[in-house]
């Protein structure tokens, strides 16, 4: 059980960084990003292309991948989503769903349906703490996930752009009156969410095998994290990731690995029944 708890906590750090981008976009733009999982996997394949062509470590590839993902998010928000938001939530929702299908097929065309993995020096490395064995990659996932979420929380509360994003989230009409360019802020928010997706994608690719169709799996994980933590809450995303990861690993310990995902989904259903707004709704 100790092993399951440790692995669950470490896995929760990865789940948190996977879901925080979706939480940010819903909290600010009020958009359920159905392409979030595909954006995570898109970043994974971009990192794969960079590492193959340069030979650099996948984590270092974020120097290239993160700015590209920011630009993609900013462009999508300003050229498509912002124009459709006045028509209600259905049109942007369909656009993001369409983008998810396009990304899947483009990745299939360029990279085939074969399993891929971001190779690095810690694939099989582990640390021993008494009777518990901790995979080094799980530890890296958790540490980077926590650091990114803390940095994002600091950015939102201590910078001008972060305050502008929070103001637009609270009341975009009042923010517009005060001189805030709401469309630009929406674009920046999407770009920031895509940067977190880039970090998540690289960590996912370093930890697990991935395919062009893997995005739907991480979309469901993102939904679970957001439902548990509360839409728009960054610290709630971190707590929810830990809860979701623990639920899955403890479920695997008690009921077998075949029910690992089901254990996490049961927690989601309980949360929807008891506290549908999440633990830290904003």
Token pair in block for residue 156: 């939102």
Distance of CA 33 to the CA centre of its chain: 11
The span from the CA of 207 to the CA of 261, in Å, is 17
pLDDT value at position 282? 54
Instruction: Give Cα separations from 108 to 65, 197, 212, 219, 230 (angstroms).
Output: 19, 20, 6, 18, 34
134: left (phi over 0), alpha (psi -120 to 50) or beta: beta
Token pair in block for residue 222: 């993102």
The series of mean pLDDT values per 10 residues for the chain, 282 residues long, is 84 91 87 92 96 91 96 94 86 92 94 89 75 84 92 92 90 89 92 95 93 91 87 84 87 76 84 83 60
Assessment of whether the complete model's pTM goes beyond 0.85: yes
Measure the CA dihedral 76/16/195/107, to 10°: -60
Domain positions in the chain = 20-214
């Amino acid at each position: 059980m100790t092993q399951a708890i440790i692995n669950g906590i470490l896995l929760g750090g990865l789940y948190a960084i996977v879901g925080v981008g979706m939480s940010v976009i819903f909290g600010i733009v009020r958009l359920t990003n159905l392409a979030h999982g595909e954006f995570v996997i898109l970043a994974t394949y971009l990192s794969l292309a960079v590492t193959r062509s340069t030979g650099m470590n996948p984590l270092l590839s974020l120097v290239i991948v993160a700015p590209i993902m920011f630009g993609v998010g900013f462009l999508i928000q300003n050229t498509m989503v912002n124009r459709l938001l006045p028509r209600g939530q259905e049109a942007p929702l369909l656009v993001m769903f369409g983008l998810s299908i396009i990304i899947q097929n483009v990745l299939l065309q360029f990279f085939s349906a074969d399993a891929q993995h971001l190779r690095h020096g810690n694939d099989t490395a582990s640390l021993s703490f008494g009777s518990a064995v901790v995979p080094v990659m799980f530890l890296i996932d958790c540490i980077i996930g926590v650091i990114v979420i803390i940095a994002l929380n600091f950015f939102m509360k201590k910078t001008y752009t972060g305050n502008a994003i929070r103001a637009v989230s609270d009341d975009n009409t009042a923010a517009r009156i005060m001189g805030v360019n709401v469309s630009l802020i929406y674009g920046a928010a999407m770009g920031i969410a895509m940067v977190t997706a880039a970090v998540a994608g690289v960590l996912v690719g370093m930890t697990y095998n991935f395919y062009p169709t893997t995005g739907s799996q991480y979309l469901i994980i993102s939904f679970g994290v957001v439902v548990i933590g509360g839409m728009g809450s960054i610290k709630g995303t971190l707590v929810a990731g830990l809860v979701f990861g623990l639920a899955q690993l403890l479920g695997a310990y008690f009921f077998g690995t075949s029910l690992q995902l089901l254990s996490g989904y049961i927690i989601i259903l309980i949360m929807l029944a008891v506290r549908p707004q999440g633990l830290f709704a904003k």
